Chain A
């Protein structure tokens, strides 16, 4: 049988980055940014994210919060990403991002408001250019590309330093056209945008191998002609290095990048989900051995940077922070019902006056009844 002679046209490699192994041992020297202060800050924020998640799930279970997507086990990715962003960068988060939002200065009250059914939570008073959390899958990646275009144009027209946009997603999102189209345009237009994929092995009930036949998620960037790196997503130092490096290149005008951060969703998809229906207790138990907080705890203690006394202080401090935020959230003034019209357009069109009045009157009659 004839076998034609073929010539190799392209080939690719996907590298993997890890600093701290499963046991919290440094397998290579840490980058300069990983100072004791930085490490303990990340540790604190990861613990805070876990606490917020824990309280949010309990609030949902007791009927005081709506559906909530926990980040349990994936705290390193959010904290490292949020930490790497500069104030003027634009963050385009997906919905599972409690840690990253906290690092961006989004308040616990705002996070609780979002999942408590109050749009005011998306106000992000401390990061006003960031996009709100995005619930439709992968759409935020295109918004990040558009934001990156705007940042690049502002840089070129006004001479301000080039800033970057970052979009986050899960690995399920990489099956969508939006993901490919975003990477594709970002590559063609060489835009300052970084895509961070939290490969937590599960898109609700569908496991990683049910999403794609590719060996890695990272290699999907190869098709768009943009660089990619796979990192240990439970290693906060590795994620931080990857995001910082990609952001630096983006800000230097070298274009986009994709980061695949491998973790494991230790929680249900959301509080509306029961993961025991589709994954084994053994697999979950095994994944707990890789989780990011314990790993960093071991490293910090090994380095003499952490102790039981410090942990007790931190637990007290975080509990106080959480209780204050809960109190603020619970005593928040409710929005007037007419708020549903107030931000539909910049100015309410005349054709909607009648509906606006109807709603207001219904509310007033209800209050009077």
Chain B
């Protein structure tokens, strides 16, 4: 794995974080379908059973309800289970245990028992997979009190956030954007340094527009920001990373500068995280806004089979269109808005 500087992919960073915790915490167990000898269908657990033994890295029978429920029992008795769902599309049989038990055990027992479980699942579209292998339903889970929903968007954040998720005393749903599992490499030292949960990351600074994106959409969002930059618009790109609880402060701080915001996500729009972010922005920073918060999202349709998934997923063009709408909107006198000025000169946006 990796070279001398340990330059690795996102999926390799997941493996590295799992290995670090397995090595350093005897309470950690990793289990799921095909995570043993096969190393997981995406190879996220490659070599772990060989290194740490079949008593701590276990293949389970094929039953997602069971995977979710067994993790609850393990966690209440002092273990740190890291359970893998093979795809997010197959997590729903386990929802009962996540919603009804994992996230309630601490509260139900008034702190007597806790449930420090990590549920991992590859998620999102764009890999030409069969039906049920491409959905992004993070909003369903972000609605659940007591849960953390974490999505990394780079190898370094995958490593640091997964370490933090495993060490966290409460249940975490860790969604891995499989479209970028191998999209890029970066040096990720295996130093066991966790990144903070509940904190957004500013990936790019800018003062004209705030773009909020997570998971695989960060890739297109950064590309859109570069294209905007070429025409003189500097976008700030924020990755919330922890979708629940949400660090709205970092987004509001950015809006102090930019006053315009676009939220990008693959998931369907209605009731999506974009709605929550837009609602919080208008609650906390209504007077800052020069334009309505734009949502650039998947459509409110069923995620299509892969022939049409490119049309469904928000790409750079859709993000730029959302950016244009936010930048061109003016609620004040003509000419009072910097971006309106910039546009009135006829400068073509990318």
Contact = CB atoms under 8 A, between A and B. Distances in A.
Nearest to A145: B70
Interface in A331-354: 339-340, 342-346, 349-352
Nearest to A151: B77
Nearest to B94: A142
A146 B72 contact: yes
A122 B74 contact: no
Contacts, number: 145
Contacts of A92: 73
Contacts of A128: 112
A123 B113 CA distance: 9
Interface stretch (A73-81, A180-188, A214-222, A293-301): A180-188
Given A146-B81, A346-B114, A122 B97 contact: no
A351 to B, nearest CB: 4
B222 interface: no
Nearest to A135: B100
A174 interface: no
Contacts of A146: 69-77, 81
A144 B73 CA distance: 6
B88 to A, nearest CB: 20
Nearest to B100: A136
A346 to B, nearest CB: 4
B66 interface: yes
Contacts of A340: 107
A131 interface: yes
Interface residues of B, number: 47
A119 B107 contact: yes
A188 B29 CA distance: 17
Interface in A113-151: 119-120, 122-124, 128-129, 131-132, 134, 136, 139, 141-151
Nearest to B283: A354
A150 B112 contact: no
A37 to B, nearest CB: 32
B79 to A, nearest CB: 5
B107 A150 contact: no
A122 B108 contact: yes
A157 B68 CA distance: 24
Nearest to A158: B26
Interface in A9-54: none
Q: Which among A146, A165, A351 has the highest number of chain B CB atoms within 10 Å? A: A146
B111 A343 contact: yes
Interface string B51-79: 00001001011010110111111111111
Contact of B66 (A120, A185, A345): A185
Given A184-B66, A185-B66, 9 more contacts: A142-B68, A142-B72, A153-B79, A177-B63, A177-B93, A182-B66, A342-B111, A346-B106, A350-B247
6 tightest CB-CB pairs across the interface, nearest first?
Answer: A146-B73, A142-B69, A150-B77, A349-B245, A143-B73, A181-B66
Interface of A: 90, 92, 119-120, 122-124, 128-129, 131-132, 134, 136, 139, 141-151, 153-154, 156-157, 165, 177-178, 181-182, 184-185, 188-189, 339-340, 342-346, 349-352
15 contacts: A129-B76, A139-B96, A142-B73, A143-B76, A145-B70, A147-B73, A149-B74, A181-B66, A182-B66, A184-B61, A185-B63, A343-B110, A346-B170, A351-B198, A352-B245
